[in-house]
Amino acid sequence: MTVGYKAIGWNRQKRIYDAVAVGGLFLYLATFVVVGLVAHPGITIETLLIRAFGTAALLLLHVVLAIGPLSRLDRRFLPLLYNRRHLGVITFVMGFAHGAFSIFQFHALGDVNPLVSVLTSNTRWDSVAQFPFQPLGLIALVILFLMAATSHDFWLANLTAPTWKRLHLAVYAAYALVVLHVALGVLQHETHPLLAATLLTGVLVVAGLHLVAALRERNADRAPAGEDDGFVDFCALDEIPEGRAAIRSVGGERVAVFRDQGRLSALSNVCQHQNGPLGEGRVVNGCAVCPWHGYEYRLRDGASPPPFTEKVPTFRVRTDGERVLVDPRPHPPGTEIEPVAVEGAAPEAPTDDFYIGYQPHAPRSIAAWLRTPIAGLFVLAVLIPAYLVTAQAQFADSVFEFGTFRQFEGRLDAAPYPVLHVEDDGGSRPHYLVEFGKRGARTELDELDGRRVRASGQLIYRDQLRMIELAEEATVALDGTTEPSVVTELGRFELTGEILDSKCYLGVMKPGRGKPHRGCAARCISGGVPPLLVVTDRAGTQRHLLITGVSGEPIGEELVHLVAEPVSVEGEVLVADGLWQLRAAATDFHRLAELGGASE
């Protein structure tokens, strides 16, 4: 309890709690990164961090949601509940780190605002398989931010406990959105069945704990029988132990009847701090102490001892033989009602230790018992990330020589997309040209079409495909002669495959294809990065065809709504100086689902 506000009311228990939480989180992230680098040597650090932060946030969210019902099922979990808001803030920080890295990686450095790109890069709201998953994660992150920003008791007091509680119940909406975000996002690309089974297990555990906790409380909500004078039969006298309470639903409200030194008092069961179950606490020095955060209320009037001002409603209580009766009509909070004395020996007071969070030390028995589940969480902090990393699909053997600048010489073809034919072992090899970020090569290269040039940049390659991300220095012409391209027309074909951007696919992003990469591919292609159609022939060999218009002109913006989906197209196929090309109109591309070739 407090009469003023500080950022954090540190005590020994809070420091231990936060040290354990941060230590476990650090162990999780370190394991994820180390195992990720070993199991996937080709992974980019950006992808590794995105997945580490995202899985950490998802795991922490499960822990946060499990603590509540666990505390209702076993009071020994109450120390975890006492500072659960700290764990919630850490969950938001991990989610924010995941979201920030993802938005920068997939949507920044493009032709539109990154947040706009998140909401507009995928508009397939009519498809389950292609449903936009990134907006779901963004909405969940906003909800978690609102909860983290209002987690302090200052907001609890000013919003009032009922409003604050309703706001923070939005965690269940955030959880549902996060589960859908994962199921409709990364699990569409990472198809290992154990990954989907892990997510399903987490959902079932959270739902099961809440269901079991709710069923245990159902009996307390059964309305007791009424009496002629308005009192209702509450419970048997021997059901109320000394120093504790019995809880029943009376007049639609949960009431707690406490027994203290042979006298009975009835208070509302709802603590004014966070609507905690006051009746599950214990009587200490004539006050009912809430088990959640230690708020105290005097039994005779439901008011907190000065200088504190919290109050709860009080109820009249009487006895009839061995039965306890309660008037269901509440008195205003703080109304004094004389406790009712009872005869006979009281049941023995419970001998289990009672946890009060604001005290500097937790009871030894509870602290000792908690070491086992906490140790288990530390073990899981090592096993789960190792398991998640090793279950992921291997990344393609592609390379982005980031930070290594080379000089390249060769003939430049400016159309339909700039390509530098670099001399290689007596011949030449085509290298697509792009610039930093999600942009194609600069338009001034058109003046150098067909000429021999020298360019500086960073090499990107995958299989036989090559690309150069140009440096800021100007591309220099070495002579004024031009050389014609050698074109071989192969005919008209009907092809099926996936449209993607060449820059990420060749090695800048991993993975550089599939639904999780859809937003990035849309930004790259609309920014001028050459689009490719990746197809697999009957022999299982992949072909990569540069997509152009029917006359060989650049085409891209018209195709962004089709990226990362199986498509079918009929068009002209040709080979120009070693580059396979597909010439077709944007209207010639169709989703396979529209043609009945795949089920949505």
Q: Please give the C-alpha separations between residue 564 and each of 57, 461, 518, 532, in angstroms, as whole numbers.
A: 26, 20, 5, 11
- For residue 1, pLDDT beyond 50: no
Mean pLDDT is lowest, of 11-15, 170-174, 316-320, 515-519, for: 11-15
Placement of tokens 């290298």 in the chain: 431
Instruction: Check whether residue 387 and residue 420 sit in a common domain.
Output: no
Comparing 544 with 294, the larger pLDDT belongs to 544
Spatial CA neighbour of 572 closest among 552, 592, 593, 557? 552
**Which residue type occupies 538?**
R
Instruction: Check whether residue 161 and residue 22 sit in a common domain.
Output: yes
| Residues found in the chain | 600
| pLDDT value for 427 | 78
Residue 600 forms part of a structural domain:
no
Instruction: Check whether residue 374 and residue 408 sit in a common domain.
Output: no
Instruction: Check whether residue 147 and residue 279 sit in a common domain.
Output: no
Residue range 483-510: average pLDDT? 93
| pLDDT value for 225 | 60
Residue 171 forms part of a structural domain:
yes
Instruction: Check whether residue 418 and residue 369 sit in a common domain.
Output: no
> Coil, strand, or helix at residue 162?
helix
Q: Residue 15 class from Cβ within 10 Å (0-12 exposed, 13-18 middle, 19+ buried)?
A: exposed
CA geometry: angle at 154 spanning 153 and 156, to 5°? 55
Instruction: Check whether residue 437 and residue 542 sit in a common domain.
Output: yes
- In this structure, what is the dihedral angle of CA atoms 51, 54, 56, 57, given to the nearest 10 degrees? 180
Spatial CA neighbour of 21 closest among 85, 95, 98? 85
How many structural domains comprise the chain? 3
* CATH code of the domain in which 299 resides: 2.102.10.10
For residues 311 and 489, give the distance between their C-alpha atoms in angstroms, rounded to a whole number: 86
- For residue 217, pLDDT beyond 90: no
| pLDDT value for 553 | 94
Which residues constitute the domain of residue 106? 12-217+362-391
Region at 394 (left for phi over 0; alpha for psi -120 to 50; beta for the rest): beta
Tell me, rounded to whole angstroms, the distance of Cα 155 from its chain centroid: 24
Q: Which tokens is 214 given?
A: 């709710």
| pLDDT value for 219 | 65
H-helix or E-strand spanning residue 207: helix 193-218
CA 374, 378, 383, 388 dihedral sign is positive
Instruction: Check whether residue 438 and residue 323 sit in a common domain.
Output: no
Instruction: Check whether residue 502 and residue 456 sit in a common domain.
Output: yes
Residue 230 forms part of a structural domain:
no
What pLDDT, in 10s, does the model give residues 145-157?
Answer: 999 999 988 888 8
Task: Write down the mean pLDDT value for the chain.
Answer: 90
Instruction: Check whether residue 328 and residue 451 sit in a common domain.
Output: no
**Contact at 8 Å (CB) between 101 and 240?**
no
What pLDDT, in 10s, does the model give residues 36-81?
Answer: 999 999 899 999 999 999 999 999 999 999 999 998 899 889 889 8
- What is the DSSP secondary-structure string of 525-556? HHTTPPEEEEEE-TTS-EEEEEEE-TTS-B--
Task: Say what the pTM is.
Answer: 0.88
Instruction: Check whether residue 254 and residue 292 sit in a common domain.
Output: yes
**Contact at 8 Å (CB) between 566 and 188?**
no
The two beta strands, 427-435 and 465-470, are parallel
Q: What is the 3-state secondary structure (H, E, C) of 156-189?
A: HHHHCHHHHHHHHCCHHHHHHHHHHHHHCCHHHC
